Every structure is written in structure tokens, then in C-alpha cells.
Structure 1
Amino acid sequence: MCVHGSNNNPDIGQLLEGLPTNWGKWGPDDEVGALNYLQAEQVLRGIAAVRQGRTFTLQIPIGHEKGEPLFPGRRPSMRMNVLDKGHYLAGKAHFDGNVEFSDDVIFMHVQGSTQYDALGHVWYDDKLWNGYDAMSTIGSMARASIVPIAERGVAGRAVLVDMARHRGKAVLDKGETFTHHDLLAAARAQGTAIEPRDILIIRTGWIGSFYEREAAEFYSDFVEPGLTFSRELVEWFHAMEIPNLVTDTMGNEVTVDPRSGVMIPLHAALMRNLGVAFAEVAQLDALAEDCARDGQWQFLYTAAPLKIVGGTGAPVNPLVIK
């Protein structure tokens, strides 16, 4: 991936100067950040939100006939059989007892599907989450990789905020932005509230629209809709102790901040500085339709990304229980 802003844009460090960080809050060796907020009390809050026993999975399909929605610069997954009925018919495979089986392999970006970012995925000033040196990313992520998040897992009360539905749209426009004030207004309109330590799930309709559009149109003038940076928004995330941000976009924020021109500043302000876990490319349409029908926008959210040693992220199939 290679995306650059204008040389006239402010330095990301200058943009975020004076904003809060959680470095050191959970000790010098912490690698899961704000997920530390999800202790037993928060898991039980999630369980208490379950009313119907209905389940929803949020991963997009890998190997869909239309491909996968990918951030520009990433390549589609490639899956191929390495053993199937054809091998037996050609006499290339045999197992005693007349037993046969198939096998396959896949090549893909670890962030090429619904996925969690490692906290060390994005950095500036040569420092990752919690102050780890960016040199630790060379060859493999020695610190703040996806493994600590994967080993811990994610579970807690989550709230879905349907920004597209709130604005009367199937999908937000390219580059369309919203703030935490917009999120709060949309939640009130839904009849729910975002509470401290809630997992925050935001629907824009963007990923779902990938399967309804031509690829050329989807990627032309590529700027995703999403949250837009402000100092007040970062302070709100900090005060609310939000552990996890989940969206149906590839970047969890508008791709280029419209005011500063900086690329993905919330990755730096929220993930790198506050330790907020980012889950991206979630498929939220079916869940949102169900929530709109029954008015239940809060539920138990669980996720366990794959344990990829040294990984910058990992695929995940989050499970929601209403």
C-alpha cells in the first residue's frame, strides 16, 4: 500500500500534540491497550444484553465471485485445490481403504477480509502503541502484534449505530463524514445510548455496497465515508473508555481528513495513542436490518482473530448474540 498526502499538510505529530494517550496505563509491556477495559463486568453487561438468542456473523466471504473489498494496493485472495477428486481419477493420489479427501491452500493479505488490526499496525515518530520502537516491526512484529489481542479475545456489550439509516440512505456517499455528536444523535434516534466501555459498531453501508456496484465505480476517486478527526472526538473516546471500534469500511475513518489532508489520523490518535482496537470490513447489513425491525441495537459482541505470530492483523468472523 502506498498512499501519500500533500507535502503541505501538517505533520501528524503536530496535529495530535497535547491529546491524551494511554501509554503506560496498563504497564510497560501492555500489547492489548483499551481491550483491558473489557473485564468480567463488561462481559456480563454483554451477556445481560442478550434477549432473544439470535446470532449474526459479521465476516465478509473470502473468495466471493466479485472478489473482496480491499484497500488500494492490496491483492485479492487466491485459493486453490491441491487435492481433489481429479487427483484420484488421474491416479495421482491413493489412500488404503478406499478413503478420499480434498485439500486446498490460500494466499491472502491478513487484512484482506474482515479483520482486526494489531495495535502496532500504524505509527508515527518511530513509536508504536505504548512507546514500542518501530524498529520492532522489521521482518515481523516483535511487539504489539495481533497475537496478544488474538489470545485475549474480545467480548462485551456492543451498540450498533446505523449512520446510513439515520441519514435516510442505503450507503453513505464517498468521503461523507460524521462526528461523535452525529453518532450520539443517531443512537438517540434509535432509542439506545452509547455507554462507557461499550464496543462501538458503526454502519455506513459501504462494504455492503461493494457487492452491488461495479468495481471501477466503487474504487474511482477512492475516499471512504467515516468518522472525521477532531480533538474533541479523541477526548470523547478517551473519556468514554471505548475499547473497540468496528465499522463496515476498510479504514474505520474517512480515508483523508478533509480539514488537515492527513491520511488516517484516527489510526494514530485512537489506536496508536489510546490503544483502541480497530476491527474493519465488517458486514453489518443483515444485523442492522434485524435491529431496525425489533429495536434492539445493543447485544453481546464476541471476536477472536487468528493467532498469526508477528502479524500486523488477522482475519476474524465476529459473532453477535442478540
Structure 2
Amino acid sequence: MTEVPHLTDLLADAPTNWGRWGTDDQVGALNFLTAPRVLEAVRAVRSGKVFTLGTPVGTGNDPVWPGRAQAQRYNTQDKSEYLVGKRTATAGGVEYADDFIAMYLQGTTHYDGLGHVWFDDTLYNSYPAETTTGGLTHNSVLPIAERGVVGRAVLLDMARHFGKDVLDKGQPFGLDDLLACAAAQQVEITKGSILLIRTGMIGSFFTRDSAEYYADYLEPGLEYSPELGRWFHEMEIASLATDTMANECTVHSSGAAFVLHAALMRNLGVAFAEILSLDELASDCAEDGQYDFLYAAAPLKVAEATGAPVNPLAIK
């Protein structure tokens, strides 16, 4: 059996952005989304069409990472309490309903904080892993939420590029595939871009049997290579968002797990958004040929959290 390489060895020559924006930085590659680049992104708005990219929450069958519980929503107050006399209307006659939800903060469309993953006991920008104990005092999702993610985004529809409605389980693709897809779509990936990748997986979740969907779970996705890591670094890619739960094939061809998270999030500070709903946007892009747009997202401002729900906007 081939020995699985440790990430220390696998990423020994991989680039990092540690210290690039100072020792206190906790938003990483989002620093590339400067005011001039945001203004440039506004020029991608040509028709005024708006797409929301979040998935529904609390349906009882939400797409969540295997092992994470479904969101639980409860009414804490509704019409029934007025009907049985436990509550009375306010002065003037107003009645109201209220509710409560318990969920994994990464149990729906979400952004990860840069401290979500690490190796060698070190988070992005050299913060020690011990700072995650009991809550992330560094590299939580809060700095990302406070900054927001706004810029020019490019959708790469890998499923359509490969002639499929949804990519196969465990199907990897790499940098050459990304660039070939962009060329086929006649869209330019410029420096500081936000990259959205569609595999068809999350869309297929709602039409497939749950047991079949989760069986032998291994998503299709982008696979790390040294060339890919250098390209993300040189192109100053600010954020990666996909319609999968992990933004990568969980297991790399080397046998190591979550290599892309380590190379891009932990080393470069690329902001990861996962579980996006991209099918409607992709269909519109295929129809009008416009694969770039203004992207805007701000996760919930949850203190010390590893991630938080978000409902991103794509504005064409």
C-alpha cells in the first residue's frame, strides 16, 4: 500500500500569503478585492438580472455534509396560542408568530472562516491552532463577515463543459480543465476574480434519493496540483465557491484528504464558500453567453465561529 504523504511534504513548495497584509490579517485573499476592483466589477452588470445562490434551510432534507444533523426549526409562537387563550393580541389587534432554529453553521450555503482547517498546528497567517479552542479567537468567520465579499466573479460550468447534467462521484478536474472551460465559454479570468464552479451536485441533490446521493460519498471537484496552487497565487483569486459541500474531491489522488483546503485556505487565505445553488444562474449564462457578473456576499456575523450561513447574490 502506498504511504499517504503528510501535507507538510505534499505542500512543501506551495506558495503562501502569510504576512503579506501584516501579522494581524484574518481575511487573506479578500484583500485583493480593492475598491478599484469592486468598481470594475460593477461594469459586469449589464442586464440587471439578480440570482440568489443560497439553498433553502429547514426543509427537513437540506444538503449537509455527512454526519452533520439537519437544521431544526420550531415555532415558539403562532396562531394556535391565541386560539386557546394563552396569548392576546397587542393593543390595536396585532398578533404575530415567532420561531427558533438550531443548525450547524456550515449546514447550508456558507462561508468558512480561515481557521476552519489547518495542519502542523498552524492556521492561516501563522496563528497557532490552540486559538481555536472553545471558539476561534483568530481567523473566525467574523472578519470575513465584517468585510464582505464583493467583486467580479466568473462562473465555470464544468458540468456543461464535460457534457453532463452532473459530474460523476469522485470525478476530479484540474487547472487545464478550468482554463479550457473558460476558453470555451469565452470568458476571461482576470486578477482578483471570484471563482464559481458548477458541478451539478447540489442541484441534483433535490432530484435524487438521499441514500443514493450519500452512498460512498465522494464529490466531484477541483483537485490540487502545484500548478493550480501557483495559478491561484499569481491570479490573486479572492474566493472559491462551488455547488459542492467541500469545494474539492475530498480525497486527493495521493490519498491525502482536504489538500485544496490546506493549499488555498490555510496557505493563501482564499475564502471558501460551499453548498451554492448554481443551476439557475448557469442556465441563464448558457442562454445569454455572459459568464461574468457582480458577486456580493456577507455571511452572518457570528463571533468566534468556524463558518456562517450566507445567501450570495450574482448580479448580471
TM-score by length of 2: 0.98
Retained in 1: the 8 A contact 2:82–2:89?
A: no
Provide the rounded CA distance (Å) in 1 between the counterparts of 2:258 and 2:40. 31
1:192 is the counterpart of 2:193: no
Retained in 2: the 8 A contact 1:184–1:193?
A: no
Q: Which residue of 2 aligns with 1:102?
A: 97
Greater alpha carbon shift after TM alignment, 188-197 vs 277-286: 188-197
Query: Residue 235 of structure 2 is aligned with which of 232, 240, 245?
Result: 240
Query: Residue 73 of structure 2 is aligned with which of 68, 79, 85?
Result: 79
- The one-letter code sitting in structure 2 at the alignment partner of 1:119 is L
Q: Which residue of 2 aligns with 1:124?
A: 119
Change (3 A) 1:54 1:209: same
Provide the rounded CA distance (Å) in 2 between the counterparts of 1:180 and 1:49. 24
Retained in 1: the 8 A contact 2:135–2:304?
A: yes
Q: Which residue of 1 aligns with 2:309?
A: 315
Q: Which residue of 2 aligns with 1:141?
A: 136
Provide the rounded CA distance (Å) in 1 between the counterparts of 2:2 and 2:308. 32
- The one-letter code sitting in structure 2 at the alignment partner of 1:268 is A
Q: Which residue of 2 aligns with 1:45?
A: 40
After TM superposition, give the deviation of residue 7 of structure 1 in Å: 9.7
Identity of matched residues, %? 58
1:59 is the counterpart of 2:51: no
Q: What's the RMSD between the two structures over aligned residues?
A: 1.1
Q: Which residue of 2 aligns with 1:3?
A: none
3-state secondary structure, aligned to 2:176: helix
Q: Which residue of 1 aligns with 2:212?
A: 217
1:282 is the counterpart of 2:288: no
TM-score by length of 1: 0.96
After TM superposition, give the deviation of residue 292 of structure 1 in Å: 0.3
**1:181-202 Cα distance to aligned partner (Å, 9 max, x none):** 1011011111112111110110
Retained in 1: the 8 A contact 2:154–2:196?
A: yes
Provide the rounded CA distance (Å) in 2 between the counterparts of 1:138 and 1:94. 45
Provide the rounded CA distance (Å) in 2 between the counterparts of 1:21 and 1:114. 27
Which sections of structure 2, spanning at least 5 residues, go unmatched?
A: none
1:304 is the counterpart of 2:298: yes
Retained in 2: the 8 A contact 1:23–1:131?
A: yes
Number of aligned positions between the proteins = 315
Provide the rounded CA distance (Å) in 1 between the counterparts of 2:16 and 2:142. 22
5 Å-filtered alignment, 1:147-226, equals: 147-226=142-221
Which sections of structure 1, spanning at least 5 residues, go unmatched?
A: 1-5
3-state secondary structure, aligned to 2:39: helix
Q: Which residue of 1 aligns with 2:18?
A: 23
- The one-letter code sitting in structure 1 at the alignment partner of 2:218 is V
Provide the rounded CA distance (Å) in 2 between the counterparts of 1:310 and 1:92. 38
**1:234-289 Cα distance to aligned partner (Å, 9 max, x none):** 011011110000100000001111x2111110100000000000000000000000
Change (3 A) 1:7 1:103: farther
- The one-letter code sitting in structure 2 at the alignment partner of 1:250 is M
- The one-letter code sitting in structure 1 at the alignment partner of 2:284 is D
After TM superposition, give the deviation of residue 68 of structure 1 in Å: 1.1
Provide the rounded CA distance (Å) in 2 between the counterparts of 1:130 and 1:39. 20
Q: Which residue of 2 aligns with 1:114?
A: 109
Retained in 2: the 8 A contact 1:38–1:243?
A: yes
- The one-letter code sitting in structure 2 at the alignment partner of 1:271 is M
3-state secondary structure, aligned to 1:188: helix
Q: Which residue of 2 aligns with 1:292?
A: 286
Retained in 2: the 8 A contact 1:146–1:308?
A: yes
Greater alpha carbon shift after TM alignment, 219-228 vs 85-94: 85-94
Query: Residue 270 of structure 1 is aligned with which of 264, 274, 279?
Result: 264
Retained in 2: the 8 A contact 1:291–1:297?
A: yes
Provide the rounded CA distance (Å) in 2 between the counterparts of 1:71 and 1:49. 33
Q: Where does structure 1 differ by over 3 angstroms across 4 or more consecutive aligned residues?
A: none
Change (3 A) 1:96 1:229: closer
Provide the rounded CA distance (Å) in 2 between the counterparts of 1:209 and 1:109. 22
- The one-letter code sitting in structure 1 at the alignment partner of 2:305 is G
Provide the rounded CA distance (Å) in 1 between the counterparts of 2:145 and 2:53. 17
